[in-house]
């Protein structure tokens, strides 16, 4: 619930347009890495190889939400992707004393944004997964100014006819309306394409998981049949019967080991007796002589 009339997404979009420039790239609600990674409301990078100055902006429209974030330390998660964290709030929501000392504060005044306190900037190197995310998923999601589209010939003729009939003011309004309709159509097409891509990727991943599960199930059944056959049991035998058979085989193995030890002991005794008999035989001959 907003304390000052702003909606969260509207405040973030307004801040993004304020920060946008030819020397800076701006993203809104951009997740910086794999699932579960931080998603700042507004994220900026300067167009510089040596000093990109990655900065995360956290928009707050109520004091309760602000207190929850500052006390829990949620904002600290952004520091692995940003050298500075700045809180963005409507005018009158808070003061610099309500913000963590190392964080910056930017306030939406009646006409524009004003920096109340700069953030303490720390050196940071963007992880590779964040760079890949910005390159693959974020390159087409940066906040940009509207780009004028080439005027089509039929639209030009229509606007010219309107201008001659109703004047330049009405013609300009018609052009603005046509441009807005084109922008809305392009945005809708881009949105549909993104959803279609997400659905295709999700379907492919789901099919891959299903195939893996089927393969593992088939391998399990094959191993189970081989074990049952090796144990000399019938198909469909219960788990209890399999365990009992394994216990019997263990007992048989133990019995075989004991028999082998007894046989070895008897063989050793027999060799000893034969050796003793061989020793006594000459002595017996001597007495007989």
Rounded average pLDDT over 139-168: 62
Q: What pLDDT sits at residue 247?
A: 84
Residue 108 banded pLDDT, cuts 50, 70, 90: very high
- When pLDDT is averaged across residues 20-47 and rounded to a whole number, the result is 88
* DSSP helix/strand/coil, 59: strand
Contacts by 277-283, CB closer than 8 A, 24 or more apart: none
pLDDT in tens, 13-31: 999 999 998 889 899 988 8
Q: Pairing relation of β-strands 84-90 and 55-59?
A: parallel
pLDDT score, position 222:
80
pLDDT for 158: 67
| Percent of the chain residues topping a pLDDT of 90 | 28
Q: Which long-range contacts (CB under 8 A, 24 or more apart) does 29-36 make?
A: 30/133, 30/134, 30/137, 30/138, 30/141, 31/133, 32/81, 32/130, 32/133, 32/134, 33/81, 33/127, 33/129, 33/130, 33/133, 34/129, 34/133
């Amino acid at each position: 619930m907003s304390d000052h009339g702003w909606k969260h997404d509207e405040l973030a979009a307004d801040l993004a347009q304020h920060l946008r420039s030819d020397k800076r790239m701006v993203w809104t609600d951009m997740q910086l890495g794999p699932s579960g990674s931080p998603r700042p409301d507004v994220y900026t990078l300067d167009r510089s190889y040596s000093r990109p100055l990655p900065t995360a902006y956290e928009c707050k429209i109520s004091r309760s939400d602000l207190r929850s974030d500052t006390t829990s330390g949620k904002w600290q998660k952004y520091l692995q992707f940003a050298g500075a964290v700045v809180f963005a709030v409507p005018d009158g929501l808070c003061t610099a004393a309500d913000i963590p000392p190392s964080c910056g504060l930017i306030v939406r005044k009646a006409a524009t944004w004003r920096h109340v306190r700069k953030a303490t900037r720390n050196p940071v190197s963007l992880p590779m997964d964040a760079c890949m995310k910005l390159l693959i998923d974020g390159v087409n999601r940066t906040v940009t100014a509207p780009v004028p589209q080439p005027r089509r010939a039929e639209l030009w003729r229509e606007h010219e006819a309107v201008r001659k009939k109703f004047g330049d003011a009405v013609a300009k309004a018609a052009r603005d309306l046509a441009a807005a309709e084109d922008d809305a159509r392009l945005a809708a097409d881009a949105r549909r394409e993104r959803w279609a891509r997400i659905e295709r990727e999700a379907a492919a991943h789901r099919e891959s998981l299903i195939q893996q599960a089927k393969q593992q199930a088939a391998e399990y059944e094959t191993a189970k049949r081989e074990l049952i056959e090796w144990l000399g049991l019938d198909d469909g035998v219960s788990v209890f019967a399999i365990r009992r058979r394994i216990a019997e085989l263990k007992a048989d193995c133990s019995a075989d080991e004991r028999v082998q030890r007894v046989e070895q002991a008897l063989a050793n005794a027999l060799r000893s007796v034969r050796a003793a008999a061989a020793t006594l035989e000459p002595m017996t001959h001597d007495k007989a002589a």
